[in-house]
Structures are given as structure tokens and as C-alpha cells.
Amino acid sequence: MGLTDQIPRRAAAGRVDFRTEPARYRHWRLSVDGPVATLAMDVDEHAGLQDGYELKLNSYDLGVDIELYDAVQRLRFEHPGVRTVVLTSVKEKIFCAGANIRMLAAAPHAWKVNFCKFTNETRGGMEDASANSGQVYLAALNGTASGGGYELALACEHIMLIDDRSSVVSLPELPLLGVLPGTGGLTRVVDKRHVRRDRADYFATKSEGLGGPRAAAWNLVDEVVPRPTWDQAVAERAAELGSRSRRPADARGITLTPLAKERGDDRVSYRHVTAALDREAGTVTITIAGPEQDPPADAAGIGAQGAEFWPLAVTRELDDLILDLRTNELELGTWVIKTAGDPERVLAYDRLLLASSGGWLANEIVHFLKRTYKRLDVTSRSLIALIEPGSCFAGSLLELALAADRSFMLAGVFEDADPDAEPAAVTLGDMNLGPLPMANGLTRLQTRFFGDDAALAAAREAAGRPLDAAAAEELGLVTFAPDDIDWDEEVRIAVEERASFSPDALTGLEANYRFAGPETMETKIFGRLTAWQNWIFNRPNASGPDGALRRFGTGQRAHFDRKRV
């Protein structure tokens, strides 16, 4: 394989491929030394995902972030002994300059939005590792962290800034580019680091940023360390943060083997997941196959199967598919979700995972599944679940139906096709009752029945029992339960209708309805902040020919329509 083949550049038909591995990284150096891993940014300015820009000063594009995502995942699965991840830079005087501005300026609106969504998810994944994996992220800013570079640090639990009289932290997006920091910066500054809002306002308008003493006084960083003692201080802090972790020292990781995938123009196939793309209808039909075998007997068996273990394998495939379709198939606006297999086996795997979740590997798999379903929740596609005979919407796979905007469950069977089939059933299991919360902190079941405690209690009461269409509809677990006579027509209308609506309005509708109830820092980032950023990205003051984003670096000032909206 030649060198250029190793860059995660756009694959055939210009598609972005999210699969990579450390040997192919162009932008990061990952090293592991006992309980401390170092993830050092060293962006290759000539290895951008697209042409037309150079990734100077450790600025990043989607390709850089794909590698970061891969590294964070591998650390969790392949290096269970790691307790602290030190995020730093190989370059002198610069930690990271944030998202590449020429890339942003040239990118279409949808690309910018998609890019920000993925980087947000990756940063959320780092916080999830700190909180739930015992792999705590430490930002060791050995140089300036500006914009998205500082936002990367904000996703870490502890921020150290070198005191060299030149290194600063900054959020210069507003003054320089006329947009907002796009990866959660505003929210994390006030909601996570508790910087006072008037100071946060000052900080976000000061393009040159703040240096050590003031940055520390305002809690923008946790400590400022002189260069002579830098290495030692970082090592000490890494050890200290790691000492709080309960990661087992002697655990052996599993290998995230290359994901087998066939990608065509109208079909994406993995081992357990397939997707049929219908460009005419604007839909993708995704089918997730349940396990073909019974689960192993215990946690040791999970480790022995490694990446082949069905829940892990299917989650990796679904994760990759979501990213692929989101990035590469913008015009396929409706995802129809099906499952096929034995629901009892799905529940058996769920039970094994939950019984083993005191162990690091089962814990990782459950959290990975949680994060993957969270991706679905923030995916700007209409999700319709079809529950038919032969499906296995039970426990962890039932979450797919609960994540959908609407679900249809066949009452009875398809009389012509298979009159002797067993009618479809759905079964709630323990996986639906806690381990897979949404970004709002509630389970999908709790969100579904928000404010209706009786309905929630009735559903919980039914856990463990296969429910036919009538029972599932009665309990509110599915939207509609048509019979064979009405099925085709009802489903067809729902899917066709969806394709006829404004894609933008659907995105806004779904972004609001999927998150009933409470908000968290995460939903504020994905809902409130992202929506404002999308609006700003779309405005002439940013993206028009005279807008700040397009004018940056040209020597010309942006021309603003001064009307406040």
C-alpha cells in the first residue's frame, strides 16, 4: 500500500471513510507508558482531507478528528491499563490552533455542521472516558491553544498551561471569524469551568486570548507551570489523576480488528448490519441482525471473543454506518430501521453484559453502545422503526425503536408472504431501564413518558415479557400497530410524506422533540449552542462573500449588515 493510500482521505466516489488505525495516523502520535498514555498532536499540514488548505499550526479538519476519535476508542478497548491520557502537542509553542479556517470558509453549510457535530461527539467521548472508563484526560498545553484547540482542552478534566510568556488560551472565533466556537466552548466555559459570564464574554471577544496568570485566576486553566518544571509537573499530575482511577492494572486489552465493510453506491454491508440505499425515495433501510449464537458463559468469554463478540461487533458496525451515512449521504433523509433475529438471544447477551459490567470490557461495550445510540439521537435524519415478524426488537435493540421518531409494529403476520410466521414481539429488558441514557440524562423510555409516571411504571412492569402489537401499542411503546391490510399503505405514506417535507424543518422538529424534559451540558451543546452556530454559519455576515469567515486572511475587513436579529 502506498503512502497516500494510508491517509484517511476520501475514498471511492469522494466518500469519507472513518476507519483508521494508529499505524496509519498522519496527525497524532499515540504512546502508552504503563498507566499513562500520551496523545500528541502533530498535524501534517499537507495531509488534509481535501485540497485547498494547509493544516498549519496544528489546525485540524475532519481527517485529524477521525484519528483522534479512533485513538480515544482504542485507548478504551486496547489499553485497559491506561488511567490517564495526556493530550499535548509535538510542535513548539503551539498546542492546537483549532479548526482550519480556510477549510471552514470553503466548506458548504452542511459540511460545517456535520464536522462540528462529529468533533462535538469526539470531545464528549473524551469526557465520557474520564467519567466512565477511568481514563482521565489531562490537557498539557505546551503552547498556545486557540479556538477549537482550547475547546479540545476544555473537554479534558484538568488543563495545564505552560508559562513561557507567549502561550495563551483563546476563543477568537467571534472577533476574527464572526462565528461562535463550534465545539462546545461557550457552554463548557460557563457550565463546566464556571467562569463568570461577564469574564467569559470578555474572553470570547479578545482575539489575542489570555496568558497564564489571568487564565488561571479566571479558571480558564487549572494551573500554569514554568517551562523548566513542565515535564515533571505533567508527569506528577498524570500520576495523581490516574490514582483516582479504578482501571485494573493487569487487564489485557482486546484488538479492534479492521472493520470488514463493503461499500457500494446503493448498499453498505458489514457482518451484522446492512443498509440499502434508495436514492429515488431518499431513504436508507438499515437492518441489524441479532446474534447467531448464544452468548459465552461469562466475562472471560467476552474477552476471548474480543471484537467478534456480537454486541461489540454490531455496535462498531452501526457506529461506522451512522458516520458514513451522515457524512456521505446527505440526501437520504429518512432511515428506516429493522432488525432480524432471535430476541431471546439479544436479551441473553444483554444479561451477560450487565452481569459483567463490573469488569472493564463489558463496561466499555455498554458505554460504547450508549454513545452510538446518542449519535442517532443527534442525527439529522428522520428515523422510522419497522417491527415485523422475524425481528428482534428486545432490550438493547429495542432502543432503536425507542430512538426512532415513529415506529410501526405489525399486528399479526403478513398473510400472503408468511402466514405461519410468529407475530412480532417487543421485549423491554434491563438495558432499557438505565444503562443507555440519552444526552439529557434520562433513558429513552423516561424521555418517552416524560411527565407521565403511570405510563412509565406500566412499561417497566411489563419488562421481560414479549409484547405483541396490541400490548405494545397499549403501553405506548410503539406509535402505530396496523395489521397486514393497512401496513403497506401506512408505512408507505409515512416514508413518502417525510421525503416531501422541508429537510431543514424536519431537522429542527426532531432536534426539539427527541429531547423532551431536562437539559444537560451535553444537550445544551447539541441543542442550544449548535442551533445558534448553525444559524450564524448560514448568515451572510459569516459565510457570504463579504462575511468574516470568507474574508479572514485576505487582508480585507468583513462587511457586516449591522442589523441585530
Site residues for its own copies, 497-536, by CB under 8 A, read 497-499, 501-519, 523-524, 527-529, 531-536
Q: Is 565 in the site for its own copies (CB under 8 A)?
A: yes
- Label each residue of 129-164 as H, E or C: HHHHCCCEEEEEECEEEECHHHHHHHCCCEEEEEEC
The span of 128-136, 168-176, 354-362, 410-418 binding its own copies (CB under 8 A) equals 168-176
Distance (Å, whole) CA 92 – CA 157: 23
- Cβ at position 477, least distance to its own copies in Å: 10
Residue number, 166 or 535, with CB nearest to its own copies: 535
The pair phi, psi for residue 163, each rounded to 5°, is -100, 90
How many residues sit close enough to its own copies to count as binding (CB under 8 A)?
Answer: 90
Residue number, 85 or 445, with CB nearest to its own copies: 445
Binder of its own copies out of 380, 396, 427, 432 (CB under 8 A)? 380
Residue type, 183: T
- Cβ at position 498, least distance to its own copies in Å: 8
Residue number, 283 or 363, with CB nearest to its own copies: 283
Residue number, 46 or 563, with CB nearest to its own copies: 563
Binder of its own copies out of 75, 337, 447, 482 (CB under 8 A)? 447
Residue number, 377 or 468, with CB nearest to its own copies: 377
Give residues 336-375 in contact with its own copies (rule: CB under 8 A): none
- Cβ at position 134, least distance to its own copies in Å: 24
Binder of its own copies out of 282, 291, 303, 435 (CB under 8 A)? 282
Angle at 122 between CA 120 and CA 124, to 5 degrees: 70
- Indicate the SS3 state at residue 551: helix
- Cβ at position 550, least distance to its own copies in Å: 12
Give residues 405-424 in contact with its own copies (rule: CB under 8 A): 405-407
Binder of its own copies out of 109, 267, 465, 492 (CB under 8 A)? 109
Number of Cβ within a 10 Å radius of residue 493: 10
Residue number, 356 or 440, with CB nearest to its own copies: 440
- From 152, 156, 145, 65, select the one nearest 111 (Cα to Cα): 65
Give residues 33-92 in contact with its own copies (rule: CB under 8 A): none
Give residues 475-494 in contact with its own copies (rule: CB under 8 A): 476, 479
- Cβ at position 254, least distance to its own copies in Å: 35
- Cβ at position 90, least distance to its own copies in Å: 32
Residue number, 256 or 477, with CB nearest to its own copies: 477
The span of 7-15, 132-140, 342-350, 404-412 binding its own copies (CB under 8 A) equals 404-412
Q: Which three cell numbers stand for residue 545?
A: 462573500
Q: Which residue has the cell 499505524?
A: 23
If you compute the radius of gyration of the chain from its CA atoms, what whole number of angstroms results? 24
- Cβ at position 13, least distance to its own copies in Å: 16
- Cβ at position 263, least distance to its own copies in Å: 19
Distance (Å, whole) CA 124 – CA 192: 13
Residue number, 47 or 472, with CB nearest to its own copies: 472
Residue number, 357 or 538, with CB nearest to its own copies: 538
Separation of CA 485 from chain center: 39
Binder of its own copies out of 40, 90, 106, 110 (CB under 8 A)? 110
Cβ–Cβ under 8 Å, residues 538 and 410: no
Binder of its own copies out of 404, 409, 431, 438 (CB under 8 A)? 404
Give residues 459-478 in contact with its own copies (rule: CB under 8 A): 476
- From 140, 64, 144, select the one nearest 100 (Cα to Cα): 64
Distances (CA, A) of 127 to 85, 120, 142, 190: 11, 11, 21, 16
The DSSP output letter for 467 is B
Per the DSSP assignment, residues forming a β-bridge with 284 are 277, 335
Reported as half-sphere exposure (CB side, CA atoms, 13 A), residue 290 has a value of 25
- Cβ at position 231, least distance to its own copies in Å: 32
- Cβ at position 56, least distance to its own copies in Å: 24
Residue number, 76 or 551, with CB nearest to its own copies: 551
The pair phi, psi for residue 243, each rounded to 5°, is -70, -20
Residue number, 113 or 256, with CB nearest to its own copies: 113
Residue number, 20 or 507, with CB nearest to its own copies: 507
Binder of its own copies out of 68, 99, 113, 438 (CB under 8 A)? 113
343-355 and 310-328 helices, crossing angle to 10°:
110
- Cβ at position 196, least distance to its own copies in Å: 6
CB within 8 Å of 148: residues ≥ 6 apart: 60, 96, 97, 98, 99, 119, 181, 182, 183, 185
Distance (Å, whole) CA 90 – CA 39: 10
Distance (Å, whole) CA 52 – CA 490: 47
Per the DSSP assignment, residues forming a β-bridge with 517 are none
Distances (CA, A) of 208 to 143, 170, 212, 225: 14, 7, 13, 20
Residue number, 180 or 352, with CB nearest to its own copies: 180
- Cβ at position 286, least distance to its own copies in Å: 15
Angle at 118 between CA 114 and CA 120, to 5 degrees: 115
Give residues 302-341 in contact with its own copies (rule: CB under 8 A): 330-333
Residue number, 88 or 447, with CB nearest to its own copies: 447
Q: Is 142 in the site for its own copies (CB under 8 A)?
A: no
Site string for its own copies, 172-201 (x = CB under 8 A): -xxx-xxxx-----xx--xx--x-xxxxxx
Binder of its own copies out of 31, 205, 257, 293 (CB under 8 A)? 205
- Cβ at position 229, least distance to its own copies in Å: 29
Distances (CA, A) of 68 to 215, 372, 459, 560: 26, 17, 40, 36
Residue number, 207 or 357, with CB nearest to its own copies: 207
Name the strand (E) or helix (H) holding 523. helix 521-523
